[in-house]
């Protein structure tokens, strides 16, 4: 018995060191809970807030952008296809799931047409996210046209210990001037207005301006990772990564993001031609925007800390639309504190989810918030897949990041932060429209129905960072 116990402990320790890159209790989270918090009380338009956000996001705020909120497939897919057809130099496209349905074929044909016209086209999709897609016709169309298509983190000998680290970011960059970030995958599930059972309700955005070049850098980093550079040049041991990263930062003052070079990137991505043309493009608007990017790693918490900083800086209102709503203790505490100081906090979550365990855990998370005056709405018209937050009617973020530990610490994710009242108003209008199709939940509605259900929810709540 003792021998078996020792073997079990050794196996668990090996998995901890080699494969589990985001366990329930993270060193960064534990230190933050015990030894301090992010600064609060700054106005979103102040230099103090910008400095604080730059410090946690490790990316600069870019001014003079034009931002447009796009809801569901009916709005975002035609807009993306139109920009693809107008591309002159380069199209960079990344997604988690690429279906070979009507939507997938429409994108493949549009991208292939531009590739044949001499435009540099790169498509990146996640291996695990698209593993069930047996019809590879869209990728065959793209490759036959000369486009470059990469599968992100396939199951290979040196990547097996990083199997849990997925490309969940969804983005597109055209000519370094136009960028998209979204929750949408490439699928016809997102059509029909988000009001049909069996379909998905989602959100995305189009942005034109200087921040598109930062999205381009983000894609170039992901493309580099997809070539195997991440796994060939870094030991797949999170603890070793932690020590090496901290030592490198201490001596160089640099962080993994934004990346400074592209060791294994294609020559076209290293080229300054697209950058020079984009920098010469005239200003399209006046909205300040910033890329929020997170990669797997013990100290890569940019999006997490950005959201936490925005919540703790709130004075009037917080509107959160997240289908997969599993906030950890610091974010849940920040939401409760905001409600207690008079901030109107509203959360729109999914009533129907494609993941049973996530649904049960979300009930326990929201029940604890509901006690403190947070308004919880359940969207039932379709499967809610949006990931948007609006704070004080001026700060907002849209992208691929779910409100859970998997997105914050395990996946590659990309959001955009926008500080603009007009853009925030677009998100607020969509939020108000969605809650008209939702049910306002009370604390009693979220209580477990029996002791067994209570026990299951408590266990899942403890393990929520892995869901």
- The string of pLDDT tens digits covering residues 282-324 is 778 899 999 999 988 666 789 999 999 999 999 999 999 998 8
pLDDT at 192 over 50: yes
pLDDT in tens, 315-334: 999 999 998 888 888 898 89
DSSP string, 269-292: HH-SHHHHHHHHSPP---EEEEEE
Going by pLDDT thresholds of 50, 70 and 90, the confidence category of residue 274 is: confident
Going by pLDDT thresholds of 50, 70 and 90, the confidence category of residue 135 is: confident
Integer angstrom CA distances of residue 276 from 216, 229, 262, 263, 271? 13, 27, 18, 21, 9
pTM recorded for the entire structure:
0.85
Q: What local confidence, expressed as pLDDT, does residue 42 receive?
A: 82
Integer angstrom CA distances of residue 74 from 81, 201, 203, 227, 310? 11, 11, 11, 33, 30
Helices (H), 63-161: 72-85, 102-116, 137-144
Quote the CA–CA distance of 112 and 335 in Å, as a whole number. 46
**Mean pLDDT along residues 415-434:** 97
Higher pLDDT, 360 or 376: 376
Going by pLDDT thresholds of 50, 70 and 90, the confidence category of residue 188 is: very high
Our CA angle for 400, 402, 408, nearest 5°, is 95
Q: What local confidence, expressed as pLDDT, does residue 350 receive?
A: 86
Tokens of 452: 């067994």
Q: What percent of the chain has pLDDT over 90?
A: 50
Residues 6+ apart with CB under 8 A from 315: 343, 392
Determine how many CB atoms are found less than 10 A away from the CB of residue 285: 18
Integer angstrom CA distances of residue 162 from 7, 153, 220, 352, 464? 23, 8, 20, 30, 20
Q: What local confidence, expressed as pLDDT, does residue 262 receive?
A: 40
Residues 6+ apart with CB under 8 A from 222: 94, 124, 152, 167, 169, 412
Going by pLDDT thresholds of 50, 70 and 90, the confidence category of residue 158 is: low
User: The CATH number of 36-466 is which of 3.40.50.720, 3.40.1350.10, 3.30.870.10, 3.40.630.10?
Assistant: 3.30.870.10
Check if the beta carbon of residue 427 is closer than 8 Å to that of residue 317: no
Closest CA to 229 of 259, 198, 272: 259
Q: What local confidence, expressed as pLDDT, does residue 369 receive?
A: 85
pLDDT at 23 over 60: no
Quote the CA–CA distance of 40 and 49 in Å, as a whole number. 9
Most confident of 243-257, 314-328, 413-427: 413-427
pLDDT at 139 over 60: yes
Q: What local confidence, expressed as pLDDT, does residue 20 receive?
A: 42
**Buried/exposed 372-393: b ≥16 CB within 10 Å, e otherwise:** bebbbbbbebbbbbbbbbbbbe
Q: What local confidence, expressed as pLDDT, does residue 148 receive?
A: 95
Q: What local confidence, expressed as pLDDT, does residue 48 receive?
A: 93
pLDDT in tens, 57-109: 989 999 999 999 999 999 999 999 999 999 999 999 999 999 999 999 999 99
Quote the CA–CA distance of 13 and 17 in Å, as a whole number. 6
Give residue 424's Cα distance to chain centre. 18
Least confident of 51-55, 112-116, 130-134: 130-134
Most confident of 9-13, 40-44, 253-257, 400-404: 400-404
Report the phi/psi class of residue 390: left, alpha or beta, with left for phi > 0 and alpha for psi in -120 to 50: beta
Quote the CA–CA distance of 169 and 466 in Å, as a whole number. 18
């Amino acid at each position: 018995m003792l021998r078996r116990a020792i073997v079990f402990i050794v196996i668990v320790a090996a998995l901890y060191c080699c494969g589990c890159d985001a366990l329930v209790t993270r060193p960064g989270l534990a230190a933050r809970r015990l030894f301090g918090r992010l600064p609060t009380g700054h106005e979103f338009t102040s230099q103090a807030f910008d400095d604080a956000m730059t410090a946690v996001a490790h990316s600069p705020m870019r001014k003079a952008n034009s931002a447009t909120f796009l809801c569901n497939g009916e709005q975002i897919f035609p807009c993306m296809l139109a920009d693809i057809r107008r591309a002159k130099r380069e199209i960079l496209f990344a997604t988690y799931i690429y279906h070979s349905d009507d939507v997938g074929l429409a994108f493949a044909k549009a991208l292939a047409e531009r590739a044949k016209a001499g435009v540099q086209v790169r498509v990146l999709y996640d291996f695990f996210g698209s593993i069930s897609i047996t019809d590879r016709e869209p990728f065959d169309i793209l490759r036959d046209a000369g486009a470059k298509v990469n599968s992100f983190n396939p199951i290979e000998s040196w990547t097996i210990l990083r199997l849990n680290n997925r490309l969940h970011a969804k983005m597109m960059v055209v000519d370094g001037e136009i960028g998209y970030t979204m929750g949408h995958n490439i699928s016809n599930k997102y059509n029909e207005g988000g009001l049909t059972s069996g379909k998905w309700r989602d959100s995305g955005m189009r942005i034109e301006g200087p921040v598109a070049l930062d999205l381009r850098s983000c894609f170039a980093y992901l493309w580099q990772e997809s070539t195997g550079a991440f796994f060939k040049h870094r030991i797949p041991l999170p603890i070793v990564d932690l020590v090496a990263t901290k030592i490198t930062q201490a001596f160089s003052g640099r962080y993994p993001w934004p990346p400074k070079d592209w060791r294994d990137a294609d020559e076209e991505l290293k080229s300054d031609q697209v950058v020079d043309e984009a920098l010469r493009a005239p200003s399209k608007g006046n909205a300040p925007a910033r890329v929020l990017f997170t990669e797997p790693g013990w100290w890569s918490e940019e999006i997490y800390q950005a959201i936490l900083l925005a919540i703790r800086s709130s004075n009037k209102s917080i509107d959160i639309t997240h289908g997969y709503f599993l906030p950890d203790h610091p974010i849940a505490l920040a939401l409760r504190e905001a409600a207690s100081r008079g901030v109107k906090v509203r959360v729109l979550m999914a009533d129907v989810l494609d993941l049973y365990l996530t649904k049960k855990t979300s009930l326990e998370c929201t029940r604890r918030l509901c006690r403190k005056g947070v308004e919880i709405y359940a969207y039932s018209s379709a499967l809610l897949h949006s990931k948007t937050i609006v704070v004080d009617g001026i700060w907002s973020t849209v992208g691929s990041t779910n409100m859970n530990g998997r997105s914050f610490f395990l996946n590659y994710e990309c959001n955009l932060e926008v500080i603009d009242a007009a853009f925030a108003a677009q998100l607020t209008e969509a939020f108000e429209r969605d809650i008209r199709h939702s049910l306002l939940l009370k604390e009693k509605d979220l209580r477990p129905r029996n002791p067994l259900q209570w026990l299951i929810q408590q266990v899942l709540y403890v393990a929520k960072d892995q869901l």
